A and B are shown apart, each in its own frame.
Chain A
Amino acid sequence: MAVLEQILKNGEQPILKVVDLHTSFTTDNGEVQAVNGLSFNLNPGTTLGIVGESGSGKSVTAYSIMRILESNGHVTQGKILFNGEDISKYSEKQMADFRGNKISIIFQDPMTSLNPVYTVGNQIVEAITLHQQVGREEAKAEAIEMLKQVGINDAERRFRQYPHELSGGMRQRVMIAMALVSKPSILIADEPTTALDVTIQAQILELMQELQKKYHMAIIIVTHDLGVIAQMADEIVVMYGGRICERGTAEDIFYNPCHEYTKGLLKSIPNVDNMKEKLIPIEGSPINLLNLPKGCAFCARCSKAMKICLEQVPPELRMPDGHLASCWINVRDNNYIVDEEAAA
């Protein structure tokens, strides 16, 4: 939080700006509109959390930034600005150099990044020599140092082991080591602890926070877990049906939610203060992306939906506390401030 406040004071520029991102997939059943007009900023050295239920477009957002979508997927609109430069205009070759160098990604399943037939040491050395002009011996020393950095004891021995010889938590550490060899300024973590037990999750989250401080790295953490988001994120983007519901600081989102979906989500989870009460679920079933509603993506499940919600996509409005929410209720209640910057 402190970092974020400083940035806001210094007027430092966001390291990453995603503007009006649209991504869809061509399928036999039609065009799946996975991400529809998403915008957010990521500030240097801070953590942005993207939260939403499964299928809401969190991973697709991350893969769009990295340009690693499956072959039937395409970014159809929008800008992705890295330090002001639109990387969506980059050639494949420029992008390949950019990936792993300036931005790295880690996944829920480390085996997506690790090759089972090579030792972990070999793979880290490979990642190092891909981006740096160093000899093999030097790369090896650096790899072992990196393993130590991610909290792996007896790094020399682990260096020679194969991925299957490591526990799930250890593999996640190796993947983080590989992602960080070029000291990227942004790390994207897609559900990095979802497959792990809670005590191992605590280890990995702590490690990410430690490395963030050490390397002054910005993190985008993608997760469906509101607890993980609360612990990690300085700022939060809430997604539903490929659209943004609201974005703001963690405190804004948790203590002053202004979108009906976020409000519903927070009431539906067991928390320290509602153990004796009935949970309040969000009724209905998840959305069909092949057939997006004309208006608000959440309107079919929203208990407060009005006529306008069915007909028009709600604009992103600035709330009195400064955060942004896309929900017509705020217009009805006149709960927003006019602000030129958001309109621009």
Chain B
Amino acid sequence: MSEANKSEYLVEVKNLKQYFPVRTGFMKTVPLKAVDDVSFAIRPGETLGLVGESGCGKTTVGRTLLHLYKPTGGEIYFEGKQVTEKNIGEFRKDMQMVFQDPYSSLDPRMTVEDIIGEPLDVHKLYSTKEERHQKVIELMNLVGLNAEHATRYVHEFSGGQRQRIGIARALAVNPKFIVCDEAVSALDVSIQAQVINMFEELQEKLGVAYLFIAHDLLVVHHISDRIAVMYLGRMVEMADADELNENPIHPYTLSLLSAVPVPDPKTAKASQRIILEGDVPSPLNMPSGCAFRTRCRYATEQCAKECPALTDRGNGHMVACWNR
């Protein structure tokens, strides 16, 4: 790497856009702006949480960032080097993804050993069969799976164990960055804690960075260094995790956080919730200007005219709002 493109960031995303063409009639398509002008950066070993209601574009950000979808616009950098459709192969090993539903993303006809070993095959990361076996055992130990179960099939494992298999597979190629898309969302709370701890321990041990996508705000707060909030394809706020929770600024973040039922009866029953009216508008029928204005109690005329840009309100607390 030359001096010129050295960066303090591991991953940088600038003005990322993902428009899906959606058919609305005969010979007629309109762009569904799933991700619109989203920018963020992640440092080595850091966790950026990504939250927002279903359909706001979280998964699409993750998939587009990994070039699983070709971006409609914007730039992606990894260790200062631009990632393009042509050179994505060079980065595949360093950037991995873990999904919500470990069952559907793991081949039921393969043994755990082969599921975890497959990326090792693809990237030719061993010279002998024995070395491959050793590596798989190491990975199973790393994620807390009993190595004696290497010859078993996925259906023989519980949800939490399957999630560990998916993570071991992602870790097999020593990635520097993992997109975790609702990776703990399907798990029972007692098991969820095991997997959250494992993510945190792996980060301490291996220095891997995460884009941690989840809809459970308390989980995201726990695991993240910083948190980004999306609404209808756009980023509306991004800040240090504690700062965002203690001092939210964007009207959407305010209502999102106030809607979270805290597991404490006194607080939960006393808290005054900001109940949002109505539903999220259709992404095919996006309000002009700020997309949140139809549900926002701070909205003014200007909000309908122009989309507010993300601006720094101090210490990297970024907010996109005209009136707050």
* Contact call B190/A199, Cβ cutoff below 8 A: no
Q: Is B255 an interface residue (CB 8 A)?
A: yes
Cα(A286)–Cα(B191), bound, Å: 9
Cα(A272)–Cα(B200), bound, Å: 18
Contact bitstring B264-286, A, C-beta under 8 A = 1, else 0: 11111100010110011000000
Cα(A285)–Cα(B163), bound, Å: 13
Cα(A325)–Cα(B15), bound, Å: 56
Q: Is B260 an interface residue (CB 8 A)?
A: yes
The residues of B that contact A203 with a CB separation of less than 8 Å are: 275-276
Shortest Cβ distance from residue B258 to the other chain A in the assembled complex, whole angstroms: 8
The residues of A that contact B276 with a CB separation of less than 8 Å are: 199, 202-203
The residues of A that contact B197 with a CB separation of less than 8 Å are: 278-279, 281
Q: Interface range on chain B: under 10, 10 to 19, 20 to 34, or 35 or more? A: 35 or more
Q: Is A167 an interface residue (CB 8 A)?
A: yes
Shortest Cβ distance from residue A257 to the other chain B in the assembled complex, whole angstroms: 12
Contact of B189 among A199, A230, A265, A275 (CB under 8 A): A265
Q: Is A31 an interface residue (CB 8 A)?
A: no
* Contact call B190/A271, Cβ cutoff below 8 A: no
Cα(A270)–Cα(B245), bound, Å: 13
* Contact call A53/B279, Cβ cutoff below 8 A: no
The residues of A that contact B217 with a CB separation of less than 8 Å are: 198
* Contact call B188/A53, Cβ cutoff below 8 A: yes
Known A-B contacts A231-B269, A280-B193; the reply to A271 vs B259 at CB < 8 A is: no
Q: Is A86 an interface residue (CB 8 A)?
A: no
Cα(A268)–Cα(B189), bound, Å: 7
Within 8 A of B (CB), among A36-63: 53-54
Q: Is B111 an interface residue (CB 8 A)?
A: no
Q: Is A250 an interface residue (CB 8 A)?
A: yes
Cα(A143)–Cα(B87), bound, Å: 61
The residues of A that contact B260 with a CB separation of less than 8 Å are: 198, 227
* Contact call A227/B263, Cβ cutoff below 8 A: yes
Shortest Cβ distance from residue A288 to the other chain B in the assembled complex, whole angstroms: 10
Within 8 A of B (CB), among A282-301: 282-283, 285-286
Q: Is B311 an interface residue (CB 8 A)?
A: no
Cα(A255)–Cα(B263), bound, Å: 11
Within 8 A of B (CB), among A257-282: 264-266, 268-272, 274-275, 278-282
Q: Is B7 an interface residue (CB 8 A)?
A: no
* Contact call A271/B264, Cβ cutoff below 8 A: yes
Shortest Cβ distance from residue A105 to the other chain B in the assembled complex, whole angstroms: 22
The residues of A that contact B200 with a CB separation of less than 8 Å are: 278
* Contact call B265/A250, Cβ cutoff below 8 A: yes
Known A-B contacts A230-B264, A254-B263, A254-B265; the reply to A202 vs B273 at CB < 8 A is: yes
Known A-B contacts A202-B273, A279-B222; the reply to A266 vs B263 at CB < 8 A is: yes
Cα(A230)–Cα(B262), bound, Å: 7
Q: Is A251 an interface residue (CB 8 A)?
A: yes
Residue of A nearest to B158 (CB): A285
* Contact call A53/B189, Cβ cutoff below 8 A: yes
Cα(A54)–Cα(B160), bound, Å: 12
* Contact call A268/B193, Cβ cutoff below 8 A: yes
Known A-B contacts A205-B261, A285-B161; the reply to A197 vs B275 at CB < 8 A is: no
Shortest Cβ distance from residue B105 to the other chain A in the assembled complex, whole angstroms: 20
A residues with a Cβ closer than 8 A to B are 1, 53-54, 167, 169-170, 197-203, 205-206, 224-231, 233, 250-251, 254-255, 264-266, 268-272, 274-275, 278-283, 285-286
Sample (24) of A-B pairs whose CB atoms are under 8 Å apart = A53-B188, A53-B189, A170-B279, A198-B215, A199-B255, A199-B256, A199-B259, A203-B276, A206-B273, A230-B261, A230-B267, A231-B261, A255-B265, A269-B192, A269-B193, A270-B196, A270-B221, A270-B222, A271-B218, A275-B242, A281-B190, A285-B161, A285-B191, A286-B158
B residues with a Cβ closer than 8 A to A are 53-54, 158, 160-161, 188-194, 196-197, 200, 215, 217-219, 221-222, 241-242, 255-256, 258-269, 273, 275-276, 279-280
Known: A198-B53, A230-B265. 7 other contacts (CB 8 A): A202-B258, A203-B275, A224-B188, A230-B261, A270-B221, A271-B264, A286-B191
Instruction: Please name the 9 residue pairs, one residue from A and one from B, whose CB atoms are nearest each other, closest first.
Output: A227-B261, A281-B193, A270-B222, A268-B193, A202-B259, A282-B190, A53-B188, A226-B263, A231-B268
